[in-house]
Amino acid sequence: MRRRIEELRNTIWVSGGNDAVAYKSMDVDALIIRNNTPEKLKNSLLEMDETWRGVYEKAAALSSKNAALLSSLAAKERKIETVLAEKDSLAERLHPLEQSERALSTENRYLRKALREYLYPAIANEILKEENVLEQVDTKVTPVAMSAFADSSMPSSFSNAVAQDRQMVSRSERLLALMENQIRGDENGKT
């Protein structure tokens, strides 16, 4: 009897690799010949019923597992869409920040260059100290140098601004003065 059950299981279900299952049709004539009494037929049918119940239970378990995996997959796909939307939103917000950072970096380089080239280091350190940017100053600034520095918040008057320009002599004025000195016979005017 056990041999027959195993034979029936082998004739109905053929298991391949990775639990792949294929259906094989049952030989009804051989079943009737082997189970020639009602009791043998009844036992054989009960065993087949038990086998089919196991197949059904396994299929139901696989179906519920498949449904759970599909649900999990859908949830993960929604999460991916949310993360991608958030990434796109952050990228849009990042673009103006990058532009601002580049502009501030360029301005910072320009101002540092201006400080290096056009200001005395002592005056620059004093300005930075007043703005609480520089904590320790290793140079001293005289009050005269500080007052000579033009503060952009309080521009000097026009006459003070052009005072040095008045002292500058153009090339033509120098040539006229030289000619005048030569005419007068001034010794310093001779070349």
Model pLDDT, residue 26: 78
Q: For 11-39, what is each residue's pLDDT tens digit?
A: 555 444 445 556 667 788 888 888 889 89
Using pLDDT thresholds of 50, 70 and 90, give the confidence band for residue 176.
Answer: confident
One-letter amino acid of 107: E
Using pLDDT thresholds of 50, 70 and 90, give the confidence band for residue 108.
Answer: confident
Higher per-residue pLDDT: 185 or 158: 185
Using pLDDT thresholds of 50, 70 and 90, give the confidence band for residue 148.
Answer: low
Model pLDDT, residue 24: 67
- Across all residues in the chain, what is the average pLDDT? 75
Model pLDDT, residue 117: 66
Instruction: Give yes or no for residue 121 having a pLDDT over 80.
Output: no
Instruction: Give yes or no for residue 93 having a pLDDT over 50.
Output: yes
Model pLDDT, residue 96: 92
Q: For 38-72, what is each residue's pLDDT tens digit?
A: 898 898 888 888 888 888 888 899 999 999 999 99
**C-beta atoms surrounding 61 within 10 Å:** 10
Contact 126, 141 (CB under 8 A): yes
By three-state DSSP, how is residue 158 classified?
A: helix
Task: Quote the CA–CA distance of 81 and 75 in Å, as a whole number.
Answer: 10
Write the DSSP string, 20-69.
-EEE----HHHHHHH--SHHHHHHHHHHHHHHHHHHHHHHHHHHHHHHHH
